[in-house]
Chains A and B, each alone.
Chain A
Amino acid sequence: MSATATPTAPDESTRRSGRHRLSEGKRAERRLGWLLCAPAAIVMLAVTGWPIIYSVWLSLQRYDLRFPHEREFVGLANYVTVLTSSYWWQAFGVTLLITVVSVAIELVLGMALALVMHWAIVGRGLVRTVTLVPYGIVTVVAAFSWRFAWSQDLGYLARLFSPEGAPLTERASALAIIVLAEVWKTTPFMALLLMAGLALVPGELLRAAAMDGASAWQRFTKVIVPVMKPAILVALLFRTLDAFRVFDNIFVLTAGAQGTSSVSMLTYNNLIKGLNLGVGATMSVLIFIAVAVIAFVFVKGFGTAAPGSDRDGRR
């Protein structure tokens, strides 16, 4: 909303004058800008930039903390090990499956929830307040709630839906429960992002469409969705990348048993349980690349305008 007010006159004039010799005030402004941003930039780069480079370096070595003396440079051998391992590809498949299914469900539910939060004529505050509960709650806490709900004997859902079996110990039902836990926790976030987009749909446009005889469904697909498309894409991008990192829910619900490990889970197990830094770092690098590819596909393929770039483009 505020972005429309951003390209104000001072911004334009400062940009033009920047080309010429800088006045004292301009230079002070630059100095202050750098000074104010430096701490944040340094921390962010020191904790992400350097480790990811270091990670690439580690991934080229045989480095097992159980045998620290056998540390040596092995080139791409770790990559060969990981990329020919069926565990890796199984975890990769599970991660993709969970990501695609949960984000698809979240988009539908989130849109419905956004419409409710935006247009409810009664109890709007109540709906928004309870919606924030899943968003704010600690993922591990929610995961334990689902685990105990689906545990044999203990849980009300297990008694209701599968009195005989143990749903968390069978692969298909365990994956479904992981998706359920993900969807429950993150649908509200999706809904809030979509609600922000919904606020941008002009009311007159909807009234005009209604007068022209458009049904509620037509108004939704022909007016609301096109106007909201940028917001939808940003929400999808953020949630897809977030879902790809799925870890907490799997850790608590199944600990990765019965072939339900995600790539994050597998990396954690190799590193902390296996103490194999070389292979762990290799997986770290591969996940980084996978996430970069997903982001690239969204930005280039679908034309998702990331919030920052969009705002900058207008300045």
Chain B
Amino acid sequence: MALTGGADTTARKAKWWFVNAVVVVYALVPVLWIASLSFKTKETINDGNFVPREWTLENYRAIFGTSEFVRALVNSIGIALIATAIAVVLGTMAAYAIARLDFPGKRALVGVSLLIAMFPQVSLVSPLFEMERGLGLFDTWPGLILPYITFALPLAIYTLSAFFREIPWELEKAAKMDGATPAQAFLKVIAPLAAPGVFTTAILVFIFCWNDFLFAISLTSTERSRTVPAALSFFTGSSQFEDPTGTICAAAVVITVPIILFVLFFQRRIVAGLTSGAVKG
């Protein structure tokens, strides 16, 4: 390739830029469309124009003025953060054991988490609905946090054990030779090295919890614990006769912002996490 002429590489580059442009359009058009709708005024929202003819922040003002949305946003953030924290802690412990320790039952645990990764969530909706009503967990934060942790754990365990295998374990051995117990070796030596992998896993798990709709809509019934994706489907507009399109779009943009920020700042980590956890050759 080094021998080919300058014109040739320019042409090749131009071809790749064209391909890149196609990918960018593919990925961003639906996002830009909903953002565009959210900035349109009530009068122009039905004009079908991709770019708003008149810009307004009215829709954002409207959603932040309703407890319906603000409460849902608080629920979404709280539930996703708590579920992520717990799933990552439990997942880190299990992944460390799977990656480093030898104990009977390890294969069973890997097998079970694989099964759960493939589990049809809707199969749990009926029994969880009934059980949570009996236990008083229905329409509460823990009622959603529990299933989120469960379905996030396989993802966390796979991603983390893949990261943990990359860590230079001689350091752990050295620490043990210096008299550290396995637990000390874990906390003092390995945990700091594992931090980037843990952080990446936390992002992936957060995205998963943030995204859920089926549990959110089946296991909640009021504003008390309804998250934004579920609340969106109940939006009716600030008055009964108002078309909710603009407010739905504004709320949709608000919950898309954190995802865009993650992707912009942690692209490399997310790609590494997804590719290392899911497929190992």
CB within 8 Å of B: which residues of A? 1-3, 5-6, 11, 14-15, 18, 26, 28-30, 32-34, 36-37, 39-41, 43-45, 47-48, 51-52, 54-55, 58, 113, 116, 120-123, 125-142, 144-146, 148-149, 153-156, 158-159, 184, 188-189, 192-193, 195-197, 199-200, 230-231, 234-235, 237-238, 241, 244-245, 247-248, 251-252, 263-264, 267-268, 271-272, 277, 280-281, 283-285, 287-288, 290-291, 295, 306-312
Contacts and interface: CB of A to CB of B under 8 A. Distances in A.
Given A130-B27, A132-B267, A140-B213, A121 B90 contact: no
Contacts of A149: 30, 33
B102 A44 contact: no
Contacts of B165: 2-3, 5-6
Given A37-B98, A277-B130, A268 B16 contact: no
A234 B158 CA distance: 14
A28 B97 CA distance: 12
B221 to A, nearest CB: 9
Contacts of B31: 133, 137, 142, 145
A231 B114 contact: no
Contacts of A271: 125-126, 129, 218
A260 to B, nearest CB: 16
Interface string B8-36: 00001100110110011011101101100
Contact of A308 (B12, B111, B275): B111
A238 B117 CA distance: 9
Interface string B210-240: 1101100110000000001100110000000
B267 A141 contact: no
A48 B211 contact: no
A189 to B, nearest CB: 7
Identify whether the interface residues of B are mostly helix, strand, loop, or mixed. helix
Identify whether the interface residues of A are mostly helix, strand, loop, or mixed. helix
Interface of B: 12-13, 16-17, 19-20, 23-24, 26-28, 30-31, 33-34, 37, 45-46, 48-50, 90-91, 93-94, 96-98, 101-107, 109-114, 116-131, 146-147, 149-150, 153-154, 157-158, 162, 165-166, 181-183, 207, 210-211, 213-214, 217-218, 228-229, 232-233, 245, 248-249, 252, 255-256, 259-260, 262-264, 267, 270-271, 274-276, 278-281
